[in-house]
Amino acid sequence: MPRKRGLMAPPPSFIWTRRIVLTALSVFALVPVYVMVSSSLKPLQDVTSTFRWIPSPLTVTPYRDIWYTVPLARYFLNSLIVSSAAAAASVAVAVFAAYAVSRYGFRGKRIFTTAVLSTQMFPGILFALPLFLIFVSIGNATGIPLYGSRGGLIITYLTFSLPFAIWMLTSYFESVPKALDEAALVDGCGPVRALFRVVIPAALPGIIAVTIYAFMTAWGEVLFASVMTNNTTRTLAVGLADYSTQNNVYWNQIMAASLVVSVPVVAGFLLMQRYLVAGLTSGAVK
């Protein structure tokens, strides 16, 4: 939303501060991106010797080689399955929880919201091992393989984005006028139908934003991916380390692979940033 702070044009001192500071920050933000893109286009000997600012000669072979040096396609597929399933499940669970929090008064509401948000505080390292042991025990007792399977990782990841998803969706749902779903209830809809027919369509941008956020959370997680996966279920977060062998570090391929794995989430994030700001704003105003 464009806005002017005052009525007057800002003084030159402000304009110059703005130019200098914003330029410096842009350089800081973009240099690693430039290094990634330019190095991914260099032959191997150019990334093992002194750093060169401009890549020459240019080559795209790293983009072909990344798929052969390491089973990148498999890691990519694993990450895609795990992250999509975790995001979808997280949002599905969060939609109902957020609907309850925003539309009903009930005993324990504050405790629930506080407890859910407080899980963000737990050091992952504290429950990584117990969770691993619990998954192994459940597997031994019931035969449901949670450890080493994608299912276990999906369940874990969906809870990581759940607190933020519930919090964001609650604030989105509260911006949907209550009169709308009350009207639907009067017309004879059940609460679940009112949620699906009225509230969800009205809050759709928020739901999409939260889905992308949940996807990104799962896509970038490292600790549980390194504890809970095996050779066949390994995700990108762990698999990218495979480009460093004892003899050689294929930096050009590492950069190419980093770019390939970043594209889906960066694109998603930049598409939804507007909705994310809107959600944060209504959350902050509350």
Partner 1 sequence: MTVSLRRDAPPAGSGAGRGRGPAPQPRSVRLLNKIKKGGLPYLFLLPALLLELLVHFVPMIFGILISFKQLTLFFIRNWTGAPWAGFGNYHLVVDVHGAVGSALLHSFFVTCAFTVLAVGLSWLFGTVAAILTQDTFRGRAALRTIFLTPFALPVYASVIIWAFMFQYNNGLVNELLHNVLGITSRPSFWLIGHNSFFALVIISIWRNWPFAFLCVMAGLQGIPRDLYEASAIDGAGIWQQIRRITMPSLRAVHQVLVLVLFLWTFNDFTTPFVLFGASAPSPADVVSVHIYQASFINWNFGEGSAMSVLMLIFLLLVTAAYLLGTSRRRGENA
Cα separation of 163 and 155, whole Å? Answer: 14
Contact flag: residue 144 with partner 1 (CB under 8 A): no
Region 59-118 residues binding partner 1, contact defined as CB under 8 A: 93-94, 96-97, 99-101, 103-104, 106, 109, 112, 115-116
119, 232, 245, 248: which one binds partner 1 (CB under 8 A): 119
- Closest approach, Cβ 56 to partner 1, in A, equals 16
- Closest by CA to 128, choosing from 228, 256, 57, 36, is 228
Q: Among 21, 73, 77, 144, which residue sits at the site for partner 1 (rule: CB under 8 A)?
A: 21
248 binds partner 1 (CB under 8 A): no
Near partner 1 in 197-226, by CB under 8 A: 216, 219-223, 226
Nearer to partner 1, 18 or 64 (CB): 18
Query: Is 232 or 281 the residue whose CB approaches partner 1 more closely?
Result: 281
Residue 50 sits in the site that holds partner 1 (CB under 8 A)? yes
The Cα–Cα gap between 145 and 154 comes to 13
State how far the alpha carbon of 169 is from the alpha carbons of 161, 180, 222, 266, in Å: 12, 17, 26, 22
Looking at 9-17, 70-78, 180-188, 201-209, which segment touches partner 1 (CB under 8 A)?
9-17
Q: Is 122 in the site for partner 1 (CB under 8 A)?
A: yes
Which alpha helices (H) appear in the chain, and where do they start and end? 12-39, 44-48, 61-69, 72-103, 109-118, 124-142, 150-175, 178-186, 191-194, 200-202, 204-220, 223-228, 236-239, 251-285
Q: How far is the CB of 285 from partner 1 (least distance, A)?
A: 5
Nearest to 103 by CA among 162, 185, 205: 185
Minimum CB distance to partner 1 smaller for 111 or for 179? 111
2: left (phi over 0), alpha (psi -120 to 50) or beta: beta
Of 1, 54, 179, 186, the one binding partner 1 (CB under 8 A) is 1
